[in-house]
């Protein structure tokens, strides 16, 4: 035991007497000052961050925005609106010039539209309106050919015809059509053909009939109304006796009695005591 304690004490003494290795202390160097052994190539490097910049990540699985693909639907809509405003068949070259796109990319979508008519022989595209009317003469002839008095909606006439409102204004001033307008905006809503005379005028026959009818004097007016079976406004309706018969004067209906005629089926039918 004594030998073990002596060995332990000698080991501790050796550890205490062993030399201590000093630690290297690095002084705090500001980021703006150059580090020893490092050369600056550009004096503007002092404004740059010493930390490396992160590289931007690019997802190569997504297609680039080249104006086609996702935007093709928008281009077809714009092409249809352009054709619609022309009021005539539009050549393919004009569509390509306006859209800055080859007609081959738009042709498939235009052919699917129910209002676009494609003529491959003449290389044109036209917007077909509902009534196929493009002038005031055609509108007047169409309105006069209507067999009913149902008005034609202006909203449907405007579809594919930009000069619709101007033609309606001219025909209305000439007295050829009748126009129903909105109250607030005064916009044409329905149109009819004027099959009568001049607007605001009355035929002489109606004027003669109107002047030939004489209105009786105020004293004779109640008698004339009574003769015609009408009630004067000065008479209280509650004081007028009804000319209809009372309920007591009406004949009372007798109860109907049933009569069995199919006597040969008496054993088969159920007796309800009639």
Which tokens in the block code for residue 36? 């020893």
Domain membership of residue 121 as a residue range: 70-127
In a domain, 193, yes or no: yes
**Strand positions, DSSP E, the chain:** 90-91, 116-119, 124-127, 152-153, 177-181, 188-193
In a domain, 211, yes or no: yes
pLDDT of residue 44: 54
pLDDT of residue 110: 92
pLDDT of residue 65: 46
Q: Going residue by residue through the chain, which has 274 residues, state the pLDDT in tens, using 9 for 90 and above.
A: 556 777 777 777 777 776 666 666 555 555 555 555 555 555 555 555 666 666 655 554 444 444 444 478 889 999 999 998 888 899 999 999 999 889 999 999 999 998 899 999 999 999 988 888 889 999 999 999 998 888 999 999 988 888 899 999 999 999 999 999 999 899 999 999 998 777 777 788 888 998 898 888 888 888 888 888 887 777 666 666 655 555 555 667 777 766 667 667 666 666 666 5
Same domain, 216 and 192: yes
Among 105, 103, 127, which residue's Cα sits nearest to residue 116?
127
**Is the whole model's pTM more than 0.75, yes or no?**
no
Ramachandran angles phi, psi of 79, nearest 5°: -65, -40
Same domain, 134 and 119: no
pLDDT of residue 203: 80
- What CATH number should be reported for the domain holding residue 115? 1.10.10
Same domain, 134 and 228: yes
In a domain, 262, yes or no: no
Same domain, 139 and 229: yes
pLDDT of residue 49: 61
Residues 6+ apart with CB under 8 A from 199: 175, 178
pLDDT of residue 93: 94
Domain count, the chain: 2
Same domain, 101 and 174: no
Same domain, 170 and 194: yes
Residue keyed to tokens 């639907």? 73
In a domain, 37, yes or no: no
Same domain, 107 and 154: no
In a domain, 140, yes or no: yes
In a domain, 136, yes or no: yes
In a domain, 93, yes or no: yes
CA separation for the pair 206, 254 (Å, rounded): 57
In a domain, 148, yes or no: yes
Same domain, 158 and 144: yes
Same domain, 120 and 141: no
């Amino acid at each position: 035991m004594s030998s073990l304690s002596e060995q332990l004490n000698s080991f501790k003494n050796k550890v205490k007497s062993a030399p201590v290795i000093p630690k290297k202390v690095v002084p705090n160097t500001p980021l703006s000052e150059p580090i020893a052994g490092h050369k600056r190539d550009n004096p503007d490097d002092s404004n740059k961050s010493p930390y490396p910049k992160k590289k931007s990540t690019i997802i190569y699985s997504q297609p680039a925005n080249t104006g086609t693909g996702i935007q093709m639907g928008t281009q077809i809509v714009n092409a249809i609106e352009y054709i619609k405003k022309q009021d005539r068949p539009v050549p393919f070259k004009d569509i390509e010039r306006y859209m800055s796109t080859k007609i081959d990319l738009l042709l498939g979508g235009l052919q699917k539209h129910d209002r676009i008519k494609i003529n491959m022989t003449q290389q044109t595209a036209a917007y077909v309106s509902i009534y196929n009317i493009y002038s005031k003469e055609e509108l007047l002839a169409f309105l006069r050919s209507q067999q009913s008095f149902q008005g034609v909606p202006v909203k449907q006439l405007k579809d594919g015809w930009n000069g619709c409102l101007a033609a309606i204004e001219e025909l209305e001033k000439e007295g050829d059509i009748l126009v129903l307008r909105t109250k607030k905006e005064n916009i044409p809503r329905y149109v009819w053909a004027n099959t009568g005379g001049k607007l605001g005028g009355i035929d002489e026959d109606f004027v003669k009939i109107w002047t030939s009818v004489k209105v009786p004097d105020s004293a004779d007016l109640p008698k004339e109304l009574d003769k015609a079976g009408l009630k004067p406004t000065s008479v209280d309706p509650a004081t007028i006796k009804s000319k209809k018969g009372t309920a007591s004067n009406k004949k009372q209906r007798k109860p109907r009695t049933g009569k069995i005629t199919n006597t040969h089926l008496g054993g088969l039918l159920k007796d309800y005591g009639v």
